A and B are shown apart, each in its own frame.
Chain A
Amino acid sequence: GIQVEQSPPDLILQEGANSTLRCNFSDSVNNLQWFHQNPWGQLINLFYIPSGTKQNGRLSATTVATERYSLLYISSSQTTDSGVYFCAVGGGSNYKLTFGKGTLLTVNP
């Protein structure tokens, strides 16, 4: 099956800093999502982005499917951005989403 690697595993920022999270995957995909799992455990949809670039407020994401990676950008980070960020991919005739291990982001005031 598809392998998903996320980096870095942990990231500590001061409020206001910018960051880039990376997701590498081992095969072609036709589904890629970024999620934020907040401290209460909820999985919140950030982007559905199998290819291209999208922006939503302070967050943006880019997927370069031909090179098998996706990037999540967080600008002007806030303490409420803390949590775990997951990349999940799906490809081929296998419709399931395979999750990476996540990036644990801590934003300090």
Chain B
Amino acid sequence: DAGVIQSPRHEVTEMGQEVTLRCKPISGHNSLFWYRQTMMRGLELLIYFNNNVPIDDSGMPEDRFSAKMPNASFSTLKIQPSEPRDSAVYFCASTPGLNTEAFFGQGTRLTVV
């Protein structure tokens, strides 16, 4: 298996632009998580899905952030409009089920200028 696949690996965008991050979980995994990593806050959970349904989005910082999982093999995290403080590394992770081992993608490094 290729593991969790995220795209793009790097994204540089101007403030105010829309940004879409993509994630393909490991085939057969039922749960998908979006995390954000910053120096100040470390690794924090933004949202997670189980069987394509959002379960907990309490970590989504504000309405500018939205996430979807239209099917078992694809999820997106969208920021609109983007701001410089959104600059971070965004990770996607998937697990075979709840409370099982999580596997992370390589992350998307987002820079908003």
Contact = CB atoms under 8 A, between A and B. Distances in A.
Nearest to A97: B102
B26 to A, nearest CB: 12
**B interface: dominant SS:** strand
B61 interface: no
Which range holds the interface residue count of chain B? 20 to 34
Interface in B49-98: 50, 55-56, 59, 89, 91, 93, 98
**A interface: dominant SS:** strand
28 contacts: A30-B99, A31-B99, A31-B100, A33-B101, A35-B104, A41-B107, A42-B104, A42-B106, A42-B107, A43-B91, A45-B101, A45-B102, A88-B43, A94-B56, A95-B48, A95-B50, A95-B55, A95-B98, A95-B99, A96-B33, A96-B45, A96-B56, A97-B33, A97-B45, A97-B93, A98-B45, A99-B43, A99-B44
Interface of B: 31, 33, 42-45, 48, 50, 55-56, 59, 89, 91, 93, 98-104, 106-107, 109
